[in-house]
Amino acid sequence: MTDIITPEEESYSGPASLSPIPLSIGSPVIRPEDKNKIKANAVEAMHHYANQEIGMLKKQADLIMSQVREIEARLKISEHIYESNLKFTPIVNQVYHLYEKDNYYNLSLIGPTEWGRSRTVGKYVASVKLLGDHSWDVINKADNNPI
């Protein structure tokens, strides 16, 4: 295969290092670049880095959704507590215990193992702690309890 040299290329008069054609027998061979290979490599790299970023964003989205579920659970338990008959003013960072009896919730300072035989307050639901924003965090949950 022979390269066709145009008259403009034959009369190049600039520095040899910038010549678009070999000027002597010892000059390096200049070959045209394979544009399809360049495009394929670029597309492959683009997909690789885009998939990395997508994976990282998916992990962040999963973390955010996990945090949303935690807040929703805190909101649900907080609603149950504030609908209950509070006979005292709860203190921030204090642990309390939630009981259910006849679809009605009761908040108590007394834990499920501290009642002895006279437990009439209901079924233990969860141990909770009042947070600074006045929502409640579940510290411990009874087995088989959907809350």
pLDDT at 119: 67
Q: State the Cα angle at 31 between 44 and 22, rounded to 5°.
A: 150
Considering the entire predicted model, what is its pTM? 0.59
Of 19 and 90, which is predicted with more confidence?
A: 90
Average pLDDT, the chain: 84
pLDDT (tens digit per residue) in 86-111: 888 999 999 999 988 888 888 999 88
Structure tokens at 78: 């907080």
Q: State the Cα angle at 52 between 64 and 42, rounded to 5°.
A: 150
Kindly tell me if the per-residue pLDDT of 55 is higher than 90: yes
Confidence category of residue 68, pLDDT binned at 50, 70, 90: very high
Is residue 128 within 8 A of residue 106, CB to CB? The reply is no
Structure tokens at 117: 């035989």
Residue 63, judged by CB atoms within 10 A of its CB (0-12, 13-18, 19+), counts as exposed
**Per-range mean pLDDT, top range of 26-40, 55-69, 127-141:** 55-69
pLDDT at 128: 93
Sheet holding 104-108, edge to edge: 104-108, 95-101, 123-130, 136-141
